[in-house]
Amino acid sequence: MRAGSRARYQVVPRVNVFLRHGRDVLLLLGAPDKPLWAGRYNGVGGHVEQGEDALTAARREVREETGLEVRELRLGGIVHVYPPAGPGVLLFLFTGDAPSREVQPSAEGALEWIDPARIGELPVVEDLPVLLPRLLAAPAGAAPFFARSCDDGQGPLRIEFEPGGA
């Protein structure tokens, strides 16, 4: 490593999708046996598999977890989640319109259509109250936002948005 350069590390690419139908957003209440986010609401998503791009992974995760075929997804933001140690996560956030409200049951948890105004009343993943309003408020054709997020376990989650982003 050159003097003055930062240490490099790996990230795990993940996608998270927030589908709309009317005013409501489809959220997944994590199953009680999930290792992460059990009993908490989040979007639909998961890992980007080897050989996939983020958009393909987002479409696949929606199909696998909801049974919906959604071709039109918009990249709304990219968040670099960096822990104090170990690999980080590069999170690609997508929005889209669901063709219907009829979803199939998922082993990942319970799928529910929720009015975004209720987010503050629900047990949600920690970054959802910050990220979801920004995603939903973005006008059609807006550039994605860029952010960094750190959870060091010593206090509240910190999310910093790139000033030049959307």
Buried b (16+ CB within 10 A) or exposed e, 21-44: beebbbbbbbeeeeeebeebbbbb
- Does residue 1 register a pLDDT over 50? no
Amino acid 39: pLDDT? 92
- Does residue 144 register a pLDDT over 70? yes
Alpha carbon distances (Å) from 157 to 57, 78, 116: 26, 17, 21
> In this structure, what token pair is assigned to residue 21?
């139908």
2 versus 59: which is more confidently predicted? 59
- pLDDT above 70 coverage of the chain, percent: 92
Q: What is the mean pLDDT of residues 137-160?
A: 87
Annotated domain spans of the chain:
11-161
* Model confidence pLDDT, tens digit, residues 74-88: 999 999 998 877 788
Amino acid 5: pLDDT? 55
Q: Are 47 and 116 in contact, with CB atoms under 8 Å apart?
A: no
Amino acid 85: pLDDT? 76
- Does residue 164 register a pLDDT over 70? no
Average pLDDT, the chain: 90
H helices, E strands: number in the chain: 2, 9
Amino acid 163: pLDDT? 82
Q: What is the mean pLDDT of residues 160-164?
A: 83
Long-range pairs, 52-57, Cβ under 8 A, ≥24: 54/13, 54/15, 54/92, 55/94, 57/13, 57/15, 57/92
* Model confidence pLDDT, tens digit, residues 35-66: 778 899 999 999 999 999 999 999 999 999 99
Alpha carbon distances (Å) from 134 to 19, 57, 82, 94, 141: 14, 22, 20, 12, 14
The CATH superfamily assigned to 11-161 is: Nucleoside Triphosphate Pyrophosphohydrolase (3.90.79.10)
d(CA 143, CA 157): 25
- pLDDT above 90 coverage of the chain, percent: 73
